[in-house]
């Protein structure tokens, strides 16, 4: 965060906490402009807040509030008069939850001061002048303030850098206290270890480079940095691709850091592909249907999730065979299988048969995809009528390279065999499929093409340099 953005001062607190009065006095004292968020929302919507909420509901209002906050984050030397709900989201029923995306912007682009005012004082001020604001709950004013503050008070505490109690203080005294704080040490610097890890990653990048990264647990094995870096070099793009181990408990704070540090793209690997969805602002409809995200694109703090795994899988198949009208046997019913199965349906496979050790899991996934299902005891019969076999499990992965889930005698000439395992480059299944006269697609091809699509989303390049990325990926895998 640069010095101009640090100089913003955000006043937060409940309705009736005195934010507007203090903001105006503080702005006048510091000769700073005052950004009144509610007024900015009304200008953007072209109507009053009461009318806006009545017509469009709370979710739309909170989204406008988020956009106003994003605009304010580009300013410097301003006092922000934030609305009472700046720290929360609200659904169509008025139910509230902490807004990580808004708190992240607040903390990283301003000094956040919580004006903690007694509930009784808030009630008295609101009774004297409600300002035409819509009610937040169906309760009367006294009960509403109590309920709202009971819910939001810990969120204000979490969001603020400074907790300033205003009881018994005149406006001038509050302003003087804030001025004193401004002369002291910088309190906006985050000391959260997760944020510091992300800062360290950013510091590794060349000056001015756009930063992307892969996250997972573990992530040390990831070959994505080599593949993406080769693509950047091929096109002369000033991008940097790093890796960061992120545990499940660190995921929420990591997404906040991605927003605030303007990380452009995040590649998500196990075990976070499902859990990360709750921390995003938008999810591509395909990723929503698959139920997993492996790609995040950050556009001015707005995080959108995609799933490129299914595209990678389909491109790896289409290199060696057409899909439309074909009978496909898919082994596995885990997370990878969900995306692969979706892809086959999108490519109009004639018949999809899902086989798995756990028949219950096969049945559940087949129900979602409209496919047939069975146990591995049906493998021989199913392969006898199949055109394509896609193996989505981890069987045969290093170090268990001698394992295979498909007996060689079940394979036949003309069958297309596609592997998801990419380490080793050639699994036992692939070797035996070649010997049986099958066409094959190695597991790394799926990895390559999902990365190619990520590259295009991160950079905006219409066509990624596949050859350069392919070469780097193979070299990296061979050297393991």
Residues with a catalytic annotation lie at 273
Burial of 246 (0-12, 13-18, 19+ CB in 10 A): buried
CB 236 within 8 A of CB 182: no
Distance CA 58, CA 134 (A): 10
Q: Mapping DSSP to helix (H, G, I), strand (E, B) and coil, where does residue 386 land?
A: coil
For 96, list phi and psi in degrees, rounded to 5. Answer: -110, 150
Of 371, 312, 384, 367, whose CA–CA distance to 345 is shortest? 371
Of 83, 84, 88, 59, whose CA–CA distance to 72 is shortest? 83
Distance CA 478, CA 480 (A): 6
Of 125, 140, 94, whose CA–CA distance to 18 is shortest? 125
Of 390, 439, 399, whose CA–CA distance to 419 is shortest? 390
Distance CA 252, CA 272 (A): 11
> How far is residue 69 from each of residues 110, 194, 235, 302, 333, measured CA to CA in Å?
11, 24, 35, 12, 42
CB 469 within 8 A of CB 452: yes
User: What are the DSSP calls for 65-116, one per residue?
Assistant: HHHHHHHHTT--S-EEE--TTTTEEE-TT--EEE-HHHHHHHHHHSEEEEEE
Distance CA 8, CA 33 (A): 10
């Amino acid at each position: 965060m640069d010095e101009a953005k640090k100089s913003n001062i955000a006043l937060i607190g409940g309705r009736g906490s005195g934010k507007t009065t203090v903001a105006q006095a503080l702005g006048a004292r510091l000769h700073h402009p005052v950004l009144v968020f509610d007024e900015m929302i009304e200008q953007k919507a072209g109507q009053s807040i009461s009318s806006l909420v009545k017509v469009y509901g709370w979710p739309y209002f909170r989204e406008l509030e988020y956009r106003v906050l994003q605009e304010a984050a580009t300013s410097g030397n301003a006092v922000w008069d934030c609305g009472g709900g700046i720290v929360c989201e609200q659904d169509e029923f008025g139910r509230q939850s902490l807004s990580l995306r808004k708190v992240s912007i607040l903390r990283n682009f301003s000094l956040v001061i919580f004006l903690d005012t007694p509930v009784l004082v808030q009630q008295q001020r609101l009774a004297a002048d409600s300002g035409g604001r819509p009610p937040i709950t169906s309760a009367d004013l006294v009960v509403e303030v109590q309920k709202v503050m009971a819910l939001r008070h810990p969120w204000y505490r979490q969001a603020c850098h400074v907790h300033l109690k205003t009881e018994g203080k005149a406006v001038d005294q509050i302003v003087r206290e804030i001025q004193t704080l401004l002369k002291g040490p910088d309190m906006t610097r985050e000391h959260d270890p997760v944020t510091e890890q992300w800062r360290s990653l950013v510091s590794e990048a060349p000056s001015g480079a756009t930063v992307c990264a892969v996250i997972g647990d573990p992530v040390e094995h990831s070959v994505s940095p080599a593949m993406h870096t080769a693509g950047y070099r091929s096109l002369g793009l000033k991008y940097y691709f790093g890796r960061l181990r992120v545990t499940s408990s660190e995921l929420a704070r990591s997404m906040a850091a991605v927003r605030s540090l303007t990380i452009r793209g995040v590649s998500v690997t196990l075990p976070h592909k499902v859990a990360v969805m709750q921390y995003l602002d938008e999810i591509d409809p395909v990723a929503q249907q698959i139920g997993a995200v492996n790609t995040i694109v950050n556009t001015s703090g707005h995080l959108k999730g995609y799933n490129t795994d299914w595209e990678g899988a389909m491109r790896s198949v289409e290199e060696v065979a057409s899909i439309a009208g074909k009978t496909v046997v898919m082994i596995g019913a885990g997370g990878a299988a969900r995306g692969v199965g979706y892809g086959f349906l999108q490519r109009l496979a004639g018949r999809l048969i899902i086989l798995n050790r756990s028949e219950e899991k096969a049945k559940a996934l087949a129900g979602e995809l409209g496919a047939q299902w069975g146990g591995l005891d049906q493998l021989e019969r199913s392969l006898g009528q199949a055109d394509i076999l896609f193996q989505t499990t981890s069987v045969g992965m290093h170090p268990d390279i001698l394992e295979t889930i498909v007996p060689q005698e079940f394979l036949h000439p003309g069958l297309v065999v596609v592997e998801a395992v990419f380490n080793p480059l050639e699994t036992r299944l692939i070797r035996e499929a070649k010997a049986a006269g099958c066409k094959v697609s190695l597991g790394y091809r799926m990895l390559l093409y999902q990365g190619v699509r990520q590259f295009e989303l991160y950079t905006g390049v219409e066509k990624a340099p596949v050859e350069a990325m392919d070469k780097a990926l193979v070299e990296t895998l061979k050297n393991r």
